Structures are given as structure tokens and as C-alpha cells.
């Protein structure tokens, strides 16, 4: 069985912890492990390999985190843009044998009852071998209005229902045969593709073309124009709600989508005052109750408990007014290492840059800024124009605007530098990549 892990979500309801370039599935929330790492560990005992569908910007986070937990039997599909779950799953299924049984899981869910989970998967596998499309219905323990529901008669699906209002959700709970739609699926790859071709032929055909045109240099890289031509639709709308081959496995597996700070609070241990703390500095409050307070380096969120789902409204506003606050943290992870913004103001920006051993940044140039590099530790190999030279700790170098340059770490220890950018514009999109080890285009 192959586990398709969907990594494309941005987790906006956990902003400011979760951002576009560090979404919630990669944030280490549970015993120094991320939801993505827990997903891989949970399924690696059941599945033979993982097939990870990721945004190209998040691929390097996945690689780093899999190295940390010693997971090696992984393949990747890189999407330049997201087109929802139906295309992502279809592209993944096209890479395997049609008879291969597929387990589709999101990368950002928490499952605490491994024994019950394995029992649900065993039953799903049995049904999948009988050519059914299997979904997993989570036994609800309260009338949640943020999830879709599956109405069932034992394993027979009677209907899929959209997110209900509070009164309807309570009616579902009282009925006893409604389940939360988990977004997990199990089926043969070929059976799913046949169903997609029957019920959503436009998606199937566009995915076929995208797969045929994709680069296959050790991973599947979909071209931007091909991805853009694929209709945006979920697996539920495209296939599951239309097929008569669908079964549901009622599952009481200790599941949470960790989709809000209220949900996160239920999963983290509380202190003696019934507070849960996820912080790297003291936060002191007096005579305050029922608040969620999230403090990061560049953003502060204060919400009443029970209202944290509404953070999406803030994120939508910031996408227009301060897009960098939804896109990236002060510390950004790159395939070559990290950079941390120490100060950013009109006319200049100061960064701390860490380059991993054996890695190098792209060969690049900027139009609107000069850069000063000061080496703190390690040895920098610097290329400026036709010259390449070494810069040691407590030494510096200077790159004029427009000069082609590159920073590399050919040593055995991390390279750390301070970069001072001076110019009329210091945005991250003032980068022209001429050559890149990681096949990235311009930002």
C-alpha cells in the first residue's frame, strides 16, 4: 500500500504560527515533531512507501523533516500551484501501478489511537481490494459546524453534507449515523482514475496531459502552465459524491484536524491554571480569562476562546495590506539553510543567514540594493562576477547592485553571516536567479 500525503495546505486558521512558507503541517507542535512527521511515522508502519504531493516551495521543508526522522523511502510530486485534492491525487495515482492500493491522507491531522486507526485501515484495505472507493468517517463527539458530514447506514454512504449550522449539526449528532468527513481515502489507483474519467473527464484529461509533460528527474515536476489548465476541484465534489462505488469506514481514532487554536488547545497539556503554553518567552497576564494569545516575532494575535476560527478574516485582510505577514516568518527556511530578518526599515534591511555545509545560494543579482556580508562563523566562498574568493570569520565583502554573485559553504560546519542590504528597495522579489541548484525560478 502506498501512502499519498497531501502537503499543500497553508493552515491560515493557525496564523501567525502557520504561514504560507511554514504552514501548520511543518510547525513542530508536539514533542518537537510536526504533524507532517507524525503522519509519516504513523503510516510508515502500514504502508510500503510515501508519495508526497507538495508545493515546490515546501518540498525542501519536507525533505529536511524526513531526514530528521530517518524516513528514506519517499517520492515527490511538486505542484507549482495548488488545484485542490482531485488533481493532486490523480497525478499521484498516475505514477503507480493501477492495482496499487492507495491510502490518501492530509499531512496536518493528528490521530492519537493508533490501534483503532490500524483496524480502520485494515477494513479499508479489504474494501479497496473489492474495487470500492473508501472514505473514513470520524465518529463525532460534539456538534462541529466547521466540518462536512457523511450520512451513513453502517458502511453504505447515503449522502455527503456541507458544513452545517449549529442546529443542524446537533441534529446530526442526535441521529447517530452522521460522521465528520476526514479527508482520508483508500482505493486502487486505477479504480480512482476510472471514476475520475467517468465523473470529471475534464480533470482527468488535463491531469493526463500534465503528467505526460512533467519533468521526471527523480521526482515529478508539473509545469506551471499545465497545472494552471487543470480544473480546481476536490475529490469529494469530483468523484466521491457522484460514484456508486463508495464505502465509508466509521472511525473512532482520536482524530483532530488541529484546524484552530481552540482545537490545538484540546491537544496540548495544560498547566495548574488550566492554561496551555506554546511560547519561547514569558507571557504575563493578570485577571484575564478565556483568551487565546499568540505572540510571534512580528505579529500578536489575541482572541476570545471559541472565536479563533475567525482568524481567517484577519489573514484575508493582511493578504491585501501586509502580505509578508501571511507569507513568511522572520526566520525563513530555504533549501540551502535559513535567514532571519533582524531589522527591516526604509532604505535598509539586516539579515542573519545560515548556509548548511555543502550548500550554496543561487547565482543571482539585484537591481535595487547593495549588499554587505560579514562572516560570523564558518568560511564563505564568495563569487562576484568572474572572481571567486574566501571570506573568513570577522572579515567582510561588498556586492554592488547589478553584480552577479553567489554565496556558498564548501566547509564541514554551518556558515553564518550578517547581511546588510542598502538600497531604495529591499523586497525578496528583487532577485534574478541566473543559476540554481534547486531548480527554482525567480521569486
Residues facing 185 on adjacent strands = 104, 135
Main-chain dihedrals φ then ψ at residue 111, nearest 5 degrees: -130, 120
> Residue 90 is placed in which grid cell?
490523480
> Residue 217 is placed in which grid cell?
528527474
Residues facing 384 on adjacent strands = 387, 405
Q: For residues 353 and 94, what is the distance between their CA atoms, to the nearest angstrom?
A: 40
DSSP annotation of 70: T
pLDDT tens, N- to C-terminus, the chain (443 residues): 999 999 877 778 888 888 888 888 999 988 889 999 999 999 998 999 999 999 887 888 898 999 999 998 899 999 998 899 999 999 999 999 999 999 999 999 999 999 999 999 999 999 999 999 999 999 998 998 889 999 999 999 999 999 999 999 999 999 999 999 999 999 999 999 999 999 999 999 999 999 999 998 888 999 999 999 999 999 999 999 999 999 999 999 999 988 888 888 888 877 777 777 666 677 777 888 888 888 888 888 888 888 877 888 888 888 888 888 887 788 888 899 999 999 988 899 999 999 999 999 999 999 999 999 999 999 999 999 999 999 999 999 999 999 999 999 999 999 999 999 999 998 888 899 999 988 876 54
Q: For residues 210 and 208, what is the distance between their CA atoms, to the nearest angstrom?
A: 6
Q: Is the pTM of this model over 0.75?
A: yes
**How many CA within 13 A on the CB side of residue 365?**
9
Domains and CATH numbers, the chain: 2-256 (3.90.550.10), 265-325 (no CATH), 331-435 (2.60.120.10)
Amino acid at each position: 500500500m502506498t501512502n499519498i500525503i497531501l502537503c499543500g495546505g497553508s493552515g491560515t486558521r493557525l496564523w501567525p504560527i502557520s504561514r504560507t512558507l511554514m504552514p501548520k503541517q511543518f510547525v513542530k507542535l508536539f514533542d518537537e515533531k510536526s504533524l507532517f512527521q507524525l503522519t509519516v511515522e504513523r503510516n510508515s508502519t502500514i504502508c510500503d512507501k510515501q508519495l508526497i504531493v507538495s508545493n515546490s516551495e515546501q518540498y525542501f521543508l519536507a525533505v529536511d523533516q524526513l531526514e530528521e526522522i530517518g524516513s528514506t523511502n519517499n517520492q515527490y510530486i511538486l505542484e507549482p500551484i495548488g488545484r485542490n485534492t482531485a488533481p493532486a491525487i490523480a497525478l499521484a495515482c498516475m505514477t503507480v501501478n493501477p492495482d496499487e492500493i492507495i491510502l490518501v491522507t492530509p499531512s496536518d491531522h493528528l490521530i492519537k489511537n493508533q490501534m483503532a486507526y490500524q483496524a480502520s485501515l485494515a477494513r479499508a484495505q479489504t474494501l479497496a481490494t473489492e474495487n470500492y472507493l473508501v472514505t473514513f468517517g470520524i465518529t463525532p463527539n460534539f456538534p462541529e459546524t466547521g466540518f462536512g458530514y457523511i450520512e451513513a447506514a453502517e458502511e453504505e454512504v447515503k449522502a455527503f453534507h456541507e458544513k452545517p449550522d449549529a442546529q443542524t449539526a446537533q441534529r446530526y449528532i442526535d441521529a447517530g449515523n452522521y460522521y465528520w468527513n476526514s479527508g482520508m481515502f483508500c482505493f486502487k489507483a486505477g479504480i480512482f482514475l476510472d471514476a475520475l474519467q467517468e465523473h470529471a473527464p475534464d480533470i482527468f484529461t488535463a491531469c493526463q496531459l500534465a503528467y505526460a509533460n512533467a519533468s521526471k528527474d527523480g521526482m515529478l515536476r508539473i509545469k506551471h502552465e499545465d497545472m494552471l489548465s487543470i480544473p480546481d476541484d476536490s475529490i469529494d465534489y469530483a468523484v466521491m459524491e457522484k460514484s456508486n462505488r463508495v464505502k465509508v469506514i466509521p472511525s473512532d481514532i482520536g482524530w483532530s484536524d488541529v484546524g484552530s487554536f481552540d482545537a490545538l488547545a484540546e491537544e496540548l497539556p495544560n498547566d495548574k491554571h488550566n492554561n496551555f503554553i506554546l511560547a519561547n518567552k514569558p507571557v504575563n497576564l493578570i485577571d484575564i480569562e478565556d483568551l487565546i494569545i499568540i505572540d510571534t516575532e512580528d505579529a500578536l494575535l489575541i482572541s476570545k476562546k471559541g472565536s479563533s476560527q475567525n482568524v481567517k478574516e484577519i489573514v484575508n485582510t493582511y493578504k491585501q495590506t501586509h502580505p509578508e505577514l501571511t507569507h513568511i516568518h522572520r526566520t525563513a527556511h530555504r533549501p540551502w539553510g535559513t535567514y532571519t530578518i533582524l531589522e527591516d526599515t526604509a532604505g535598509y534591511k539586516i539579515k542573519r543567514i545560515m548556509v548548511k555545509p555543502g550548500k550554496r545560494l543561487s547565482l543571482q543579482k539585484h537591481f535595487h540594493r547593495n549588499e554587505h556580508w560579514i562572516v560570523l562563523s564558518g568560511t564563505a566562498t564568495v563569487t562576484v562576477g568572474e572572481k571567486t574568493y574566501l571570506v573568513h570569520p570577522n572579515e567582510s565583502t561588498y556586492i554592488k547592485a547589478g553584480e552577479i554573485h553567489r554565496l556558498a559553504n564548501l566547509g564541514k560546519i554551518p556558515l553564518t553571516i550578517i547581511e546588510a542590504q542598502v538600497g531604495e528597495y529591499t523586497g525578496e522579489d528583487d532577485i534574478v536567479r541566473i543559476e540554481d541548484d534547486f531548480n527554482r525560478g525567480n521569486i
